[in-house]
Amino acid sequence: MSTKTEELTAMLAPVVEGLGLGLELQGIEFAPSRSHGLLRLYIDVASGERHVTVEDCEAVSREVSAVMDVNDPIASAYTLEVSSPGLDRLIFNAAQATRFAGQQVKVALALPQDGRRRVQGAILRAEGDLLVIGLENGGEFAVSFDNIDKARLVPDYAALGLETAAPKAPRPRRKRAETPNSKSPGTH
């Protein structure tokens, strides 16, 4: 996590939790840009008794906007997005990894490790600053949270009753018949 992301998290987590809606800040993605950056906040219901609503996102957006306007921690223009974590939620820290132990995760590494840039497997555990992933071959892959660019859960749509029909086979492409005097569309 970058210093700016840590600064923004420290500033905004109390704002989200202080709204009295039972929400917590799960994590922040900050993509700075010279002309127009992006600040995305992921919020969740701390108790897990309900889902994040559009009204929750609107309330957080209003409060965060006000705090950001007063403190002005980002020098350039940016877009603020407030989102629920979704089914394929990002894992930002060890506590979240522990909460979702046993579930499948896809991890993109910031720097290659053991010849890999990406890893997929089941979350086994979090040990200190390490995420330990169980691999298909039965092995384990331990990576520091500092070396994780993104870690995202892989939803089991079948278990959720959301499995989609098998994808249709692609239709074969037909070649257009060309005659020696035919012209391409739009040419004269």
Do residues 131 and 123 touch, judged by C-beta distance below 8 A?
yes
Angle, alpha carbons 4-6-11 (nearest 5°): 95
CA dihedral 102, 104, 106, 110 (to 10 degrees): 0
Measure Cα distances from 73 to 20, 28, 41, 64, 114 in Å: 24, 14, 15, 12, 37
Query: Has residue 20 got a pLDDT over 70?
Result: yes
Q: Which whole number is the average pLDDT over 58-71?
A: 96
Specify the pTM: 0.77
- Paired with 28 in beta bridges are 41
Query: Has residue 53 got a pLDDT over 90?
Result: yes
Distance of CA 154 to the CA centre of its chain: 11
Q: Which amino acid is at 8?
A: L
pLDDT-derived band at 126 (thresholds 50, 70, 90) equals very high
Q: For residue 169, what pLDDT is reported? A: 64
Q: For residue 156, what pLDDT is reported? A: 82
| Strand ranges of the sheet holding 37-45, from the earlier edge strand across to the other edge | 23-31, 37-45, 78-83
The half-sphere exposure of 117 on its side-chain side, counting CA atoms within 13 A, is 0
Mean pLDDT across the chain: 88
Query: Has residue 69 got a pLDDT over 80?
Result: yes
